[in-house]
Structure 1
Amino acid sequence: MTDTVPSTGTTGAAPLTTEEIDLAITVAAVAVGVARRAEERCPSAENAQRVAHAVAAVDALLDQRLASV
């Protein structure tokens, strides 16, 4: 299975606009919900790690959004 949250790295690319960051936050928040539901249905270390990665992605995007204000 692939990662539930795509990489948000922009190495060498133009900075993301506020609207792009907001969209990425929305998508990442949905991924958190999906990962949490998978963890509820089938508790495992792998699913717990997916939840942690999804939450970390949202946190990183929120930090990026706050830095752009």
Structure 2
Amino acid sequence: MRGWFRLTLGLLAVVVGLVWTLQGLGHLRGSVMSGDDVWAIIGPVVAGIGLVLLVVGLRARNKARRQQR
């Protein structure tokens, strides 16, 4: 079970970051964030943090699997 929390949080951050980026760039409409340049900057930062969490979670999960053997 080790690493699953980081994987889940990382995946969520990547998805949210992508949505925020698309809204900031004006590709997704219907929100206060649509067309706002700030979200076009914040989105990729959040997605990058999510990718880091995914890598850390995968490493922790693989390490736990190796220790079980």
Same fold per superposition (TM over 0.5)? yes
* Residue 59 (structure 1) shift: 2.0
Structure 1 residue ranges, 4+ long, deviating more than 3 angstroms after superposition = none
Measured at CA, do residues 62 and 22 of structure 1 come closer, stay the same or move farther in structure 2, by a change above 3 Å? closer
Structure of higher CA gyration radius: 2
Equivalent position SS for 1:20: helix
Distance in structure 1 (CA, Å) of the matches to 2:5 and 2:17 = 18
Cα contact 2:17–2:43 (8 A) shared by 1: yes
* Residue 43 (structure 1) shift: 5.1
1:25 is aligned to 10
Q: Give aligned pairs, total.
A: 53
> Which structure 1 segments of 5+ residues have no match?
1-15
* Residue 22 (structure 1) shift: 2.0
1:34 is aligned to 19
Give the CA RMSD over aligned residues: 2.2
> Which structure 2 segments of 5+ residues have no match?
27-34, 63-69
The TM-score normalised by the length of structure 1 is 0.56
Question: What is the 5 A alignment of 1:1-69?
Answer: 17-41=2-26, 42=35, 44=37, 46-68=38-60, 69=62
The TM-score normalised by the length of structure 2 is 0.56
* Residue 49 (structure 1) shift: 1.8
| % identical aligned pairs | 13
Measured at CA, do residues 37 and 51 of structure 1 come closer, stay the same or move farther in structure 2, by a change above 3 Å? same
